[in-house]
Amino acid sequence: MKAEERWQARFRAPRVTLPVWARQAPARAVYRSNASGAWEVYAWDRAAGSTRQATARPKGTSHGTIDPTGQWIWWFSDTDGDEWGSWMRQPFAGGPDEPIDLAAGYPAGVALSATGEAAIGVARPGEGFQIHVVRPGGSARLVYEHAEAASVAAMSMDGSLIAISHSEHGNSRHPALRVLRQNGDTVGDLHDGPGKGVLGLRFAPVPGDRRLLALHERRGRREPLVWDPESDEQREIWLRDPGEITADWYGDGRSLLVVRANRGRTHLHRYDLAGGRLFPIETQHGVIDAATPRPDGSVEYSWSSGAHPPVIRSSNGHVVMNHGGPTSPPSVPVEDVDVEGPGGRIHALVSRPERGSGPFPTVFLLHGGPTSQDDDSFVPQVAAWVDLGFAVVRVNYRGSTGYGSAWRDALIGEVGHIELSDVAAVRDVMVDRGIADPERLVLSGASWGGYLTLLGLGTQPKVWAAGIATVPIADHLATYEEETEALRAYHRALLGGSPGEQPERYANCSPITYVDQVEAPLLILAGENDPRCPIGQIETYVSRLAERGHEHSVYRYDAGHGSLVVSERIAQMSAQLEFARKHIRIEA
């Protein structure tokens, strides 16, 4: 298989997300797959061994879930990826979609009960954040509203309790947790103070059990907490092992599935609540994107590594499902690199071509978020660059998750410049070790990574030979004026206030401030309907490039903050590789 065929085959290979099963009907599940050519929601009847495609929309479907009884599939209907819309539901066995009677808005969480009721969060410009209890066929009841960011975290099986994440204290990056009754009365509050968020996960799956599983940051990282909101009894689950931790309930409510992420790999454990003992669950070296316990006590999980494509597996040792079709070609394994940076040790991941010893043309591929991380999972984009002959370096800069609360929060205030100083430290080591050719360095990324790309080209103009920015922030002020309410709250938390309160900080951290210093040729990819990094502020940045005759290209596509359509993703990757071939010397 030729290189171009190989990288395209990785995008085309059918992939599935971990099936989400109905708690009271475990043979019924839903998942998302790209098998139709776009990411859509599918229903899986495990008892009958049958699947069907539940949604079919030209631009794909981002969100889908199933109610605890297994009778209804819920999915979110937006317009061409703009994230503005309403929830729909359809019978599990098929039938017409039913709209949920709630005015359209941006989604802010959904949770379903076994009684048919749902808690739905919505955000609208000028109206702040609202949470409603909805019974299909009846009217919606408002149970919470506030100007600051809030979202639905969970709903008890009987529908009597609703957990919400909120930031009434003014910092959406470190939310508080509240449990409400359906009449809006508060049952309990958890707020650990500045810099310590509390995240709600799920109520215990046992009828009448009001315990809520949550995550806290009291010891400098996210760890599980079991909380009874009525008595305020709290049990912290402390683990000796390093890394960030999340968890889920086993079906009997007596154990927790503990998922620990450390240095870009994932580890599973079962935690016995009665005895306080931790039991490892054997999995292969790599990354578990999602995991869930089954009624028989087994655990199903979505696994991949940098070299091996994703697969849905069981702790019983078998493959749970695949969607058929051609399998994805493998790629190269990733290497770990640790670099001493200006703010502490930086962990980076390197993928090198199998042929040649370097130095290679190198793309620094920066992740979004910034509260995200790069890890040892299978990424078709990384594999495509490697096939072209590039080394790929991914840096978990300050601001990344997975390395503790202090590392994640270290960029507050001086965003962009802090992350790029970490990238520079890793870049110097890659050059010194003979992996990266200093004359053939490409800076690239999507979303927050696209923002860092534009900022890096303007503040480090002599370093980069080319730049590729996908759905970037080009101007924090202009983005703030057009983005969703939740992202405005996030901006305020990250930059210490609104643009009116922090005008110098917004300007100092904006790529458009440095646009006249850009020297490298630049490719920008932008979604026409993007509500997160609106295209208007990108157009202004591009016009500034054009005014000074700077070499640039713009790829516009008809979707939002990324595309769910396979052919469009291939077209975007092809545009990036062609741009690199044009501006970077690549040995045959």
Q: Are residues 508 and 396 in the same domain?
A: yes
Say if strands 360-366 and 335-341 run parallel, antiparallel, or are unpaired.
Answer: unpaired
Q: Average pLDDT by consecutive 10-residue portion of the chain (588 residues)? A: 88 96 97 97 96 97 97 97 96 96 96 96 96 90 97 96 97 97 96 96 94 97 97 95 96 97 97 95 96 97 97 95 87 98 98 93 97 97 97 98 96 92 98 98 98 98 98 98 95 95 97 98 97 97 97 97 97 98 90
Instruction: Please name the amino acid found at residue 164.
Output: I
Helix, strand, coil share of the chain (percent; to 5): 20, 35, 45
Q: Are residues 251 and 393 in the same domain?
A: no
| 320 backbone dihedrals φ, ψ, rounded to 5° | -75, -45
Q: Are residues 461 and 382 in the same domain?
A: yes
Count of C-beta atoms within a 10 Å radius of residue 460:
20
Structural domain contains residue 227: no
Structural domain contains residue 73: no
Judged by DSSP in three states, 69 sits in: coil
pLDDT of the residue at 2? 81
Structural domain contains residue 356: yes
Range of the domain at 275: 239-322
Q: Are residues 313 and 340 in the same domain?
A: no
Q: Are residues 410 and 523 in the same domain?
A: yes
Judged by DSSP in three states, 555 sits in: strand
Find, among 228, 226, 247, 249, the residue nearest to 236 by Cα: 226
For 497, residues 6+ apart whose C-beta sits below 8 A from its C-beta are none
**What are 451-456's contacts with CB under 8 Å, separation 24+?**
451/416, 451/511, 451/533, 452/366, 452/416, 452/419, 452/420, 452/423, 453/366, 454/511, 454/522, 454/541, 455/416, 455/417, 455/420, 455/509, 455/510, 455/511, 455/514, 456/420, 456/423
Find, among 96, 122, 100, 92, the residue nearest to 24 by Cα: 92
Q: Return the DSSP state at 237.
A: -
C-alpha 348/C-alpha 426 separation (Å) is 8
The torsion angle over the Cα atoms of residues 560, 198, 400 and 352, rounded to 10 degrees, is -80
CATH number at residue 426: 3.40.50.1820
- For 135-197, the DSSP string reads -TTS--EEEEEESS-EEEEEE-TTSSEEEEEE-TTS-TTS-EEEEEETTS-EEEEE---TT--
The last residue of one of the domains, among 291, 322, 353, is: 322
Q: Are residues 301 and 347 in the same domain?
A: no
Q: Return the DSSP state at 401.
A: S
pLDDT of the residue at 305? 98
- Residue written as token pair 């043979």: 27
Q: Are residues 391 and 278 in the same domain?
A: no
C-alpha 559/C-alpha 527 separation (Å) is 5
| 400 backbone dihedrals φ, ψ, rounded to 5° | -75, 150
Distance of alpha carbon 68 from the chain centroid: 25
Structural domain contains residue 343: yes
Q: Is the separation of the CB atoms in 129 and 151 below 8 Å? A: yes
- Residue written as token pair 């991949």: 304
Find, among 24, 20, 41, the residue nearest to 32 by Cα: 41
Q: How many residues does the chain have?
A: 588
Find, among 170, 250, 239, 162, the residue nearest to 204 by Cα: 250
The last residue of one of the domains, among 290, 322, 354, is: 322
Burial class (CB in 10 A: 0-12, 13-18, 19+), 233: exposed
The last residue of one of the domains, among 296, 322, 348, is: 322
**Which residues are registered as beta bridge partners of 468?**
444, 523
Q: Are residues 540 and 449 in the same domain?
A: yes
Structural domain count of the chain: 2
Count of C-beta atoms within a 10 Å radius of residue 546:
11
C-alpha 238/C-alpha 259 separation (Å) is 13
- Largest pairwise CA distance in the chain: 69
C-alpha 149/C-alpha 141 separation (Å) is 19
C-alpha 40/C-alpha 122 separation (Å) is 22
Q: Are residues 298 and 351 in the same domain?
A: no
Distance of alpha carbon 527 from the chain centroid: 18
- For 449-467, the DSSP string reads HHHHHHHHHHHSTTT-SEE
Q: Are residues 281 and 303 in the same domain?
A: yes
- Residue written as token pair 């040649």: 356
Structural domain contains residue 556: yes
Structural domain contains residue 305: yes
Q: Is the separation of the CB atoms in 437 and 458 below 8 Å? A: no
Structural domain contains residue 247: yes
Find, among 387, 323, 401, 377, the residue nearest to 355 by Cα: 387
Q: What's the pTM value of the predicted model, to 2 decimals?
A: 0.97
Cα–Cα distance list, 268 to 136, 260, 290 (Å): 38, 6, 11
Q: Are residues 345 and 262 in the same domain?
A: no
Helices (H) and strands (E) in the chain, counts: 10, 36
- For 202-217, the DSSP string reads EE-SSTT---EEEEE-
Q: Where are the alpha helices (DSSP H) in 301-416?
A: 380-388, 405-409
Structural domain contains residue 54: no
Q: Are residues 297 and 387 in the same domain?
A: no
- For the record, the structure tokens of 130 come out as 């609202």
The torsion angle over the Cα atoms of residues 47, 293, 371 and 235, rounded to 10 degrees, is 150
For 270, residues 6+ apart whose C-beta sits below 8 A from its C-beta are 250, 255, 256, 257, 258, 278, 279, 281, 299
